[in-house]
Chains A and B, each alone.
Chain A
Amino acid sequence: MAKNLPPHLQELREEIEGYARGYGLDFFDVVFEVLTYDEINMVAAYGGFPNRYPHWRFGMEYEQLAKGYEYGLSKIYEMVINNNPTYAYLLEANADVDQKLVMAHVFGHGDFFKNNYMFQHTNRKMMDEMANHATRVRRYIDRLGVELVEDFVDRSLSLENLIDYHSPFIQRKPRARAEGEGEATPHVQGFTTDREYMRGFINPKEYLEAEQKRLDEEQAKQKRFPERPERDVLLFLLDHAPLERWEHDVLSILRDEAYYFAPQGQTKIMNEGWASFWHSTIMTQKALRDSEVIDYADHHSGTLGTRPGALNPYKLGIELYRDIEDRWNKGRFGKEYDECDDLRARRSWDKKLGLGRQKIFEVRRHYNDVTFIDEFLTAEFAIEQKLFVYGWSDKRNQWEILDREFRKVKDKLLHQITNFGQPIIEVVDGNFENRGELLLVHRHDGIDLQPDYAKETLRSLVSLWRRPVNLVTRIEGKGMMLGFDGKEQSERKVEL
């Protein structure tokens, strides 16, 4: 399928790569492949990989991409995957100016993949890993039949967002305790003193009681299963659900892939912004020929266009990087600047520090979307970019603009991207009611779950756990426990 880069593209590539390295971008070796639109649609449907396990949803993606292309509604003209070497695809039919833009954009992504901290734990040989996954799933299909395996994949996919998006960076589980340690019921000693008469004074009775209670609770906690709420529901299922060997393998494949893709979802704004920043910088400062200006401008504006109801990550990202670069060039940061209320002084603030470039390189290494927005989205920026909060109006039966106030915009935006925009669901009890039932809790943060979807997802959970599954959540302000026992859905009120 791969075609070697034709000589003129090879020349372009060397030229652009030179510029990119010249600006200090640092990336793994990049392998460009030229694909026809049909092939690029396929690769895109597979999430960027030439080889995935068979599943209808890739066919669905393909259908949408292919239809979109055939009807002239949309076309993909660039794909890049996080791997070492980094793979990127060029659309055969693109004009040279587009190819240059795409290459510049790809080097931006490549640099981001290599350097951003979120990607440090990702598998850099995912190309091979995905192919292995495909082989394993195919083998199960050959042995067990497509229906059985596909059904299991469908159900597992319905749980694929139940992973702990931060787990590569946080050690949530204490190290395994040695056998026998901490078994005996602890007894409170209180502070020790060699003067016996002081003991009662430095260890008042209330303190001792409270301390004893805390220790007892600690003890009780260790008997709990799981010991503390587990966000990586998939891991919990892998460890404790009564799965067949092949089921276990398929589920762990899906979990691996979910973790591989997770950082990309959590750095969408930063990653796209970074790549756009660099394609725009490289193109406008170095690579663009006079005759190409119009086409470049057309396509550049196409990718950065905004629609009222959907935030364009390319646009938001590139503007934020530009804003940061500008602020650090002019020294618009720190206590002095923050505390300056004189609007005129603020506007003309320029200390000529020239730290901008250095700062954005630093930012691209140490932040993800949440921290990026949290730290660098300023009130001025929100006004300049005309950001607003929208919501559904029941009264008028339409989506409408609710607010332009900075605080609300920022809160909403942060909420939208926290935990990957997914509700936080934890396993709290694997032996609920002492009947081997599973109890999950939805950490409600102001927005209800979509009830019909929640019920269907419970069904998928039951089919893996093989015992009834319950979910505590809040619906319209009231605590609710949704349950499914394999036959019937149940709903009952609970106190939260």
Chain B
Amino acid sequence: MSLKIKQDHARFKNIVRGRIKQNLKKFIQKGELLGKRGGETVTIPLPTIDIPHFRYGHKQQGGVGQGEGEVGSSLGPGQVEPGKGQAGEGEGEHVLEVEVSLEELAAILGEELELPRIQPKGRDRVVATRTRYTGVNTTGPESLRHFKRTYKQALRRQIASGTYDARAPVIVPTHEDRRYRSWKLQPLPENNAVIIYMMDVSGSMGDEQKEIVRIESFWIDTWLRSQYKGLECRYIIHDAVAREVDRETFFHTRESGGTMISSAYKLCQEMIDADYSPSAWNIYPFHFSDGDNWSADDTRLCLEILRDRMLPAVNLFCYGQVESPYGSGQFIKDLREGFDGQENLSLSEIADKEAVYGSIKEFLGKGK
């Protein structure tokens, strides 16, 4: 049955896609669908168009909340929506929130951003098998006998045949009652993948830039995890020198030095050479920087490493340039010139948090 609303819906979609009514384009926002995963709230982008009103500035406004917490403790991202809850005309709507799993989130993200499923590199894949106990059978080795099911079966039989006496509950399983665990062999396509995150932590990268990198890598992580079993992650931070760190450090370090991007690329290449043979691994290096490299010489060196060694080995190399008040943003231009039309290199400029979703689409939209 077709609903009246479908017309309005189609019209809205066309506005969002920019087909009609360009004047509304600037009001399109990346609205959010909230989902909860464990204690954490994650958001899924859904475009909305915000009609401008005279209204209070958000950050000055604040509001009243309810719950535990000391004065000064953070409310956490995604928790605050001042101004909402009051506006809106739909009276008496009950809305129930539920939790979503990471796999579902990845599926939603994939659908919203229209991400293609990734084609693993076309090599002969080593197919491993894994044993999973999936069912119950009437025959099998005694070592796999399912005590509880056997017992239940016996109880059922005895009750049905009227030999069960509740006052003297003696259950005697016969041969037919026995139940055994049974298993299946599941083929496991072994396409291993590794993401190597690299981030510029030089003085010009501020907290906001880090936040952008954090959000973006969360989603990249989620998406790639849904595409590969056994995803590994490695983290490299660099200013003038590069070093490998753990996840925690990656997102929280702030250094202050110059920037030599080649140092990170060298380290990354060493990692690939040592641990991740390109024939067995799908490799995804991601590099985030504000694009302010130390010298033209160093940039040349970066391009060399990329061209001669890294790009032939990896599925996709992604470079995301975050906008910072200090960065010159030259590096992305150099890459663009150096690798025009290169298939497995993805470049993206990320102006602010709003731009993250678009950038994810640029990175992962190639289906590599």
Q: Which residues of A contact B (CB under 8 A)?
A: 38-39, 41-42, 44-48, 51, 54-64, 67-68, 71-82, 102, 105-106, 109, 147, 150-151, 154, 157-162, 261, 264-265, 268, 271-272, 275, 299, 302-303, 305-313, 315-316, 385-392, 394, 396-404, 409, 412-413, 416-417, 420-423, 425, 442, 447-454, 456-457, 460
Contact = CB atoms under 8 A, between A and B. Distances in A.
Contacts of A68: 33, 95
Q: Which of B69, B96, B97 has the most CB of A within 10 A?
A: B96
Closest 8 CB pairs of A and B: A59-B8, A309-B80, A59-B12, A391-B62, A309-B79, A456-B52, A59-B9, A421-B86
Contact of A412 (B60, B64, B66, B75): B64
B46 A64 contact: yes
Interface in B57-75: 57-75
Contacts of B51: 57, 154, 157-158
B94 A307 contact: no
Contacts of A73: 33-35, 97-98, 100
28 contacts: A39-B3, A41-B5, A42-B4, A48-B91, A56-B8, A59-B9, A62-B5, A64-B46, A68-B95, A71-B104, A72-B104, A78-B92, A78-B94, A79-B90, A161-B53, A264-B89, A265-B87, A310-B80, A385-B66, A387-B64, A388-B64, A412-B62, A412-B64, A417-B86, A422-B55, A423-B56, A442-B54, A457-B53
Contacts of A58: 5, 8
B94 A387 contact: no
Contact of B12 (A57, A271, A303): A57
A63 B86 contact: no
Interface in B80-113: 80-81, 83-98, 100, 104, 108
B207 interface: yes
B224 interface: no
B56 A54 contact: no
A451 B46 CA distance: 25
B215 to A, nearest CB: 14
Interface residues of B, number: 74
A454 B57 CA distance: 10
B5 A412 contact: no
Interface string B121-135: 000000000000000
B208 interface: yes
Contacts of A409: 64
B7 interface: yes
A449 B55 contact: yes
Q: Which of B44, B80, B83 has the most CB of A within 10 A?
A: B80
B247 interface: no
A397 B79 contact: no
A313 B85 contact: yes
Given A48-B90, A158-B51, A310-B81, 20 more contacts: A42-B4, A45-B5, A54-B8, A57-B12, A62-B5, A62-B12, A72-B98, A74-B97, A77-B94, A79-B90, A158-B53, A161-B53, A271-B91, A310-B65, A386-B67, A400-B74, A401-B69, A401-B75, A423-B55, A457-B52
A473 B34 CA distance: 35
Contacts of A450: 55-58
Contacts of A82: 91
A399 B66 contact: no
Contact of B8 (A62, A67, A75): A62
Given A78-B92, A397-B208, A59 B54 contact: no
B65 A309 contact: yes
A420 B86 contact: yes
Contacts of A150: 21
B91 A307 contact: no
A79 B92 contact: yes
B31 interface: yes
Nearest to A476: B60
Nearest to A454: B54
A447 B58 CA distance: 9
Given A401-B71, A422-B54, A308 B90 contact: no
A303 B94 contact: yes
B267 to A, nearest CB: 30
Q: Which of B52, B79, B96 has the most CB of A within 10 A?
A: B52
A19 B272 CA distance: 72
Contact of A71 (B11, B35, B49, B56): B35
B240 interface: no
Given A38-B3, A57-B49, A454-B54, A308 B66 contact: yes
A62 B9 contact: yes
A316 B144 CA distance: 55
B10 interface: yes
B15 interface: yes
B33 A404 contact: no
A159 to B, nearest CB: 8
Nearest to B208: A397
Nearest to B67: A308
